[in-house]
Structures are given as structure tokens and as C-alpha cells.
Chains A and B, each alone.
Chain A
Amino acid sequence: MSSPEVLVIGGGPAGVSAALELARAGIDVTLCEQGPRLGGAIHRQPDDPTQSVRVPRSHKQRWQAMSDELAASTVKVLCRHMFAGIEATGAVLLEDRIHGRLVTRRPAALVLAMGAIERVAPVPGWHLPGVVTVGGLQVMMKSTGRAPDGDVLIAGSGPLLVALAAQMASLGNAPVAVLERSTRLMSVSVIASLLRAPAYLWEAAGYLLTLARSGILPRRGAFVTAIAPRDGRLSVTTLDRHGRERQMLVDRVALHDGLLPNSNGTMAGQHGPFIVRAGDCREVLGGTAALADGRLAAHAVLAQIGKAVRATKVPAAILARERQAQAALNTLFDYSGRDPAQLPDETIICRCEGRTLGQLRSMLSGDDPVSAREIKLNGRFGMGACQGRFCAEWVASFVASQRADGSPPQASEIVGSRWPVKPVPIAAFVTLPPSHPSE
């Protein structure tokens, strides 16, 4: 009997780590990444190797070591292969973007390491062209090796804001301002927790120093209240912690309000493979944790298919430490976004379908407790191309905030668990050979 195949989805640190650990145990592993290169969010590689963004040396070394081991391993790497879901008979669907076709696999186990999705809390005008996410801008910069041009405003909350700002400054185009919503301060206990994972402190210090040299200090307690088009640019209204309003004219706005696991609704079906999640896709704990979590996922797979697992407590200990550090870090930020009560009715909530907060509010008026499914079908929230991956969480929590009856809807009721997890070209789908040739 040939050894069972394991499929790993996602070529970031978690996926690569899981694939390597499985290969070390002699398992036949295939690693699928939708993009052209491995690396994930943190180790994103440039399109042109001579044009790279400066990243902390420890990051570079870590990725180099993994790439080397991968090259020498038995792991089969498939780039430009997107995981599209698991269909009824249990087959895993992959969109092969190199050949423009759909292929199926029937692995014994599936490791999902698809990273995080960025959360952006709605504000009026956030759907306009020129408004992007902080992570999206960073990925673009890492790919092209160039800072985005024009005047850029960075706003929201989280460590990613200063990371992007510093990287832009190093590439010669510092943002015009960084607005960090949070006013929370470091406490002794937070510092104590972070000292156990000091890399974060060093990284942050490096970024802040770079920014200070460019004359930029994050404005804490400030946030965006509205964005509107003006003369081909974006007019942004901001409020600071003292309640002072300000207008700025910029070319781009980069927003970010935290990260969420990219679970995309995939569930183990009756006939499908054994599924384990790893890295940010399971719990958003950052790059170091993702490496450890990849190994843990591999161990879970090995246990499931009856292979001996080398006993080690190391990855679990790393995970515990990183979880504590992340928890400490999270106390410094404020991912709540603008209070919905302050948002005007015209605010777009579902960007795919252009549905507004006013439409959501009117669905919830009246005594009849409309269900999540009805909000989705009739309100069209989550019915567009992204199928709710970007608005479902916000819609669900807004509905919960309006309901006192203790039956808050879940984001999963809006996203659902159907495939494809992302749009698939029909041209690719029709290439799928029939598994039962028709009579």
C-alpha cells in the first residue's frame, strides 16, 4: 500500500512548517499555495528579487532556513493552486491557475493554513477606490519592492499600522499620518508578558525609531469618521482624542482593525478528509506561533493516520507563550471600530452588493425577530462575490447588539459552509473530467 497523501493548503510559515514536519516523518505531502510564491503574509517574497522591502533580519534568516529545508525535502510544492473547497463526495477541489483547470484530490488528511483575513470596521466612504487595507498595501509593497506613491493615510488599530508606516518610510514615501484609535497604555503586566517574547518589543522599537526619523508619530486616540471623493483624491474627516475634527486630502487611505482567522466555512464533511487547521487560520497568534502550530497540526495528522509521533512539548510551549504575548499585545489596541450608533444610514456595510447600514437597520425594525438567514437572503448581506467573508462578522455583531433576546446570530450563519470558498472561473471548472463517464 502506498503511503497516504496529505495536502497542506497555504504556503505561509504555518503551512510550510506543517509540510516539513510531515515530510520528516516520511509522509507524502503536497503543499498548495494560491499565489505565485511561498512566504505567506509575513515572508511575502518580491516579484523581482532585486527589489525587496527591508524586513527584520531574524525574519529573513528564519525564512531562508525553511526554504532551504523545503528545497531538500520530499514536499511537492504547487504554487498558483487555490483550494476551492471540499465537495459532496469528499474530494478536495483545487483551481490550478497555471493551466486554468480544476483538479481534484482525495488526500487522507488536509491541513488548512490559509492565514488570517483583515478586519476593517465600516466608515462612510470605505468602499471608495483608493481605500485599501493596511495588510493589502503591505503585501503589494513586499511584492513590488516599492512604496505606494502619493499621500497615504494609515488608520485603524493594531501593530500592523506602524509596521507598514515604517516600511513605507524606509522605501522613501512615509505616510502623511498614522492614526491609532487606541489610547490604552502599557502596563507593568503587559510589559512583563511581552518580555517573555521580546521579539515583538524589538520589532516595534525598530519601526517606531524609523518613523521618528521621518518625523512621524502615531496620533493615538485619533480615527477616521468619513471619506469622500474630492478632485480625484480622497477627503478624509478625522477626529482626535479631544474631539477636534480635521480634514485631510490624500491619495490613499489604508485601514485596519485587527485580524480574524480565515476559516472560510470549510467543514469536515461525511466523506471528506481529516481536517486540521494551523497558524493564523486557526488562531491569530503571529509568525512564531504559526511555525509551532504547523508542527502541532502535523502531529495531529500523524496521530490520525497511525504514525508514531516524536514526543516533544516544545511546540505547545511556544504556542502557550505566544498566546500570552498576543493577549498582552491586544490589550494595547482597540479593534472596536466606529460605534455603529455614530454611523449614518448611507454607510455601506456589504461592499460586494453595496448594501447600507440603513437597509440593515430597517430589516431589524419591528417586533418580528428576523433570522440571520433572512437578513442574508433579503438584505443581500453576504450574497456577493466574497460571500460574507468581509462583512458577516460585523453584521452578526451589529444584529446581536440590537437584540436583547439572547439569540444573537452567528457570522457562520451568514457565511455558510458551501463551496467554492472563493470564486472559480467556469472555464476552469468545465475541464474537470467526469468521474462517472455518462452512459
Chain B
Amino acid sequence: MAVVGAGIVGMSAAHFLSRAGWQVTVYDAGVVASGATGSADGAVSVASKKPGPLMTLAVAAVKFYEQLVATGILVDEYLPRSTFVVASDHEELAVLERHAGELEAAGVPIRMLKGAALMAVIGAAAPTAIAAAEVQREGHAVGYRVVERLRQLGGFAIRRNCRVSGFESSNGCITGVMTEQGTEPADAVLLATGIGSMHFLAESGLIRPRKGQLIVTDRAGADSPHFPGPLMSCRYLVSKGSQPADSAVASRSLGLVIDPLRTGQFLIGGSREDRDDRETADADVVATLLRDAVALSPSLAQLRIIRVFSGLRAATRDGMPIVGHVGGAENLWIATGFEGDGICLGPMIGRLCQQMICGESPEQDISALDAARFGLTLAAAA
């Protein structure tokens, strides 16, 4: 079994496939977690998901993380916590209340906080916050740490700096992967190549890079105000498209999450920009994010930023991931297009890929993600 891509999706799939008896090799053009997985925040969260199949899958993905902790696979790498979605004006409150209702309908426990209760729970919130929804029972996992844990558990081989350029096939079946270091035999292939997936597909423009910039701060002092969990500006829901953009706040392209890390640092982000210059960060976006962050939580002004980094999300045309079989070869599967949700969904998707490839019926309904909706076929060049 050749898994192409050592991000969270590919490494999770490799983990489960190797345990199902496959002899697995993971190929990556860079190193482990060098794609989106290594430059993401780690919200394992339902709070921002679009109602519908994605929200349902996210609920299952959170449970899956809990299961991985219980079975000893991700001990210490998953931190359960609530997410707090904060509304600062009445337009945002309307969006918040609608979204909270939908989350509850999907079975997510919600607590609405206002006035004194809000201040008591979220000491760090600005006095201008008028309401917050506490989205309970979700968590945080750092993508590159999850992947490192799976690497340490082992059971499969990793080939770094080994780009896959195409496949060797006979009679509609892939028989080998062609790499920079030569062709190696394969009985089946899973593409978990994130933004690099388009190289392998005949369709053009289906997956596009969506850049995100994230800010890392230094450690807050022990006397700084309390963050019970990440604070998300209600505007984030709008920029992420979870709620229809029908109000004045809609024109913003910067969603805001202030994420308190276990180290005492904060991650502040992130932008959603339709561009692909992943190595750079611009002062304008950073200053705007920081202004919004300080407006949401004034005590942040006492901290310093130590780094700004950016990553590229793989965004599909319809905003839904792609998981399934690729036309043109019998033994070729794909799992990509997770945009801003891959850390949350990744481990469970790895499991579902294994079930799909082993011919079992996946324990979650992933028909909405089926690659067949785009009629995906292998590119001639691959």
C-alpha cells in the first residue's frame, strides 16, 4: 500500500491500514507534516462547522479523538475543552443564536452566557462582549504532534523528500508509484496530498489554495486574565461560510480565533485568503488580526508576538472534502480538500479510508464527500 502525503490524513490512514495488515509506505515530497498539518491551529471543533454532513462528521470526529485517547493511541495529545463564540454587537448576536440552535440540533451541548455569567466564565473577554455561546465537549490537538505520535507508534515506513510524480499501471490497475528515486511496486494507492492533489487529477481548478496567517505570542504571566478555552469572534463564522453572509459583518475576510495553548502562549488567527504564497506574512493582515484580538480581549496587548507563520488550506469548489475512489484505476483512492477542518477530521478520515480500502462499510456516512460527485479521474500525466 502506497500512501502519498505524510500529513495528518495520510499518516492516520497509514496507521490504520498497517494495523489492518497492509504493508504500508508513506511517501512525502517534503518531510513529515510539512504541508498544512505543520502550519495549522488545532481546533478539534464543531463550533465553526457548516450545518449538514460536515457538522455531523465533526461531532463524530471529536468522539473519535476521545476514543483514540481512551485506547492509548493519542494519550496527552488531545486536550478536551470548550470553545467560546463571542458576539460583540446585535448583528453578531443574531448570527450566534441561529448557529447555536443548529449546533444543538446536531447534538452538541451549548451554554449561552450573558452579562455577569459571561464575565465570570471568560475573565479575559472585553467588556464590549454582549454574549457568548460555550460549545462544550470539544478539544485541541496539535497536527504535527498527532502525526509524530503516529510515527512513533510505527508499523509503516516513511520516505521523506520523495515526491511521487505518477503511477505505473496495467489493465486499469496501478502496479507501481513513480518517484524521484525510482519506481516502486504498489498494490493500492491512497492520495492524501492536500493542496498537491491537483497534480494527479484530470479536473482543473477543483482544489484551490486558501492561505491562512497565524500569529504566535510569548507566554502570558500567571496573573493574566482567564481564558477557559479559545475565543472565537462571531465574525469567524461568517468568514468561514458556516452561516450565510447576509449582514454588514460579512465583508470581512479575517476570522478571529484566540487560542490559548498549553505552553501559556496564544495562537491568534487566521486569515482566509485566496492566494498561495505560503512562505510570507504581511503586516497589514497581522495588524488587523491583532487589533481585532485586542478588541475581543484587551489583556493580549501586554504580550509580544514571537512569530507569524502561514499555511495553505486545500479548498474544494463546493467547500466539502473529497474522499473516495478515483476513476481510471481500480486501486486508487483519494482523501483531500479538508480546508480548515483537517486536524479535526483527519484521524477519523484515516480510519474511514482504511475501512473503505479494505472493502468494509465505513462506520460513518461519507457519501456526501464521495469523489464521484466530481467524477474524478486520474490525470493523463500521472
Contacts and interface: CB of A to CB of B under 8 A. Distances in A.
Interface of A: 87-89, 91, 93, 102, 104, 269, 368-369, 371, 373-374, 377-378, 384-385, 387, 417-420, 423-427, 429-430, 432, 434-436, 438-439
Given A371-B31, A373-B34, A425 B304 contact: yes
Interface string B159-174: 0100000000000000
Contacts of B301: 425-427, 430
Given A373-B34, A374-B148, A378-B145, A420 B305 contact: yes
Given A269-B280, A373-B31, A385-B218, A426 B160 contact: no
B38 A420 contact: no
Given A373-B38, A374-B33, A434-B288, A368 B304 contact: no
Q: Which 9 A-B pairs have the closest CB atoms?
A: A88-B280, A88-B282, A423-B304, A371-B31, A432-B287, A87-B283, A378-B148, A427-B301, A377-B144
Nearest to B300: A426
B151 interface: yes
A384 B31 CA distance: 22
Contacts of B307: 387, 418, 420
Contacts of A102: 283, 287
B305 A426 contact: yes
B283 A426 contact: no
B75 interface: no
Interface in B278-294: 279-284, 286-288, 290-291, 293-294
Give the bracket for the number of chain B residues in contact with chain A: 35 or more
A430 B294 contact: yes
Given A88-B280, A418-B307, A374 B286 contact: no
Among B38, B281, B288, B305, chain A packs the most CB atoms within 10 A around the CB of: B305
Q: By DSSP majority rule, is chain A's interface helix, strand, loop, or mixed?
A: loop
A426 to B, nearest CB: 5
Nearest to B288: A434
Nearest to A384: B306
Given A89-B282, A102-B287, A377-B144, A426 B34 contact: no
Contacts of B300: 426
Interface in B93-138: none
A430 B304 contact: no
A429 B286 contact: yes
Contacts of B302: 426-427
Contacts of A429: 286-287, 290, 305
Given A384-B306, A426-B304, 11 more contacts: A88-B280, A88-B283, A89-B283, A373-B34, A378-B145, A420-B306, A423-B306, A427-B301, A429-B286, A430-B287, A432-B287
A17 B303 CA distance: 36
B281 A368 contact: no
Nearest to A428: B304
B234 to A, nearest CB: 17
A430 B291 contact: yes
A91 B285 CA distance: 13
Contact of A385 (B144, B252, B306): B306
Interface of B: 31-34, 38, 144-145, 148, 151, 158, 160, 217-218, 251-252, 277, 279-284, 286-288, 290-291, 293-294, 300-309
Contacts of B294: 426, 430
A366 to B, nearest CB: 9
B284 A436 contact: yes
Among B217, B283, B300, B308, chain A packs the most CB atoms within 10 A around the CB of: B283
A419 B308 contact: yes
Given A371-B160, A426-B301, A439-B251, A434 B287 contact: yes
A439 B249 CA distance: 11
B283 A418 contact: no
A323 to B, nearest CB: 33
B290 A369 contact: no
A430 B301 CA distance: 8
A434 B284 contact: yes
Among A88, A102, A385, A434, chain B packs the most CB atoms within 10 A around the CB of: A88
A261 B304 CA distance: 25
A418 B300 CA distance: 22
A149 B282 CA distance: 46
A371 B282 contact: no
A374 B303 CA distance: 27
B288 to A, nearest CB: 7
A88 B277 contact: yes
Contacts of A91: 283
Contact of B305 (A373, A424, A436, A438): A424
10 contacts: A102-B287, A269-B280, A368-B151, A377-B144, A418-B281, A423-B218, A426-B304, A430-B290, A432-B283, A439-B251
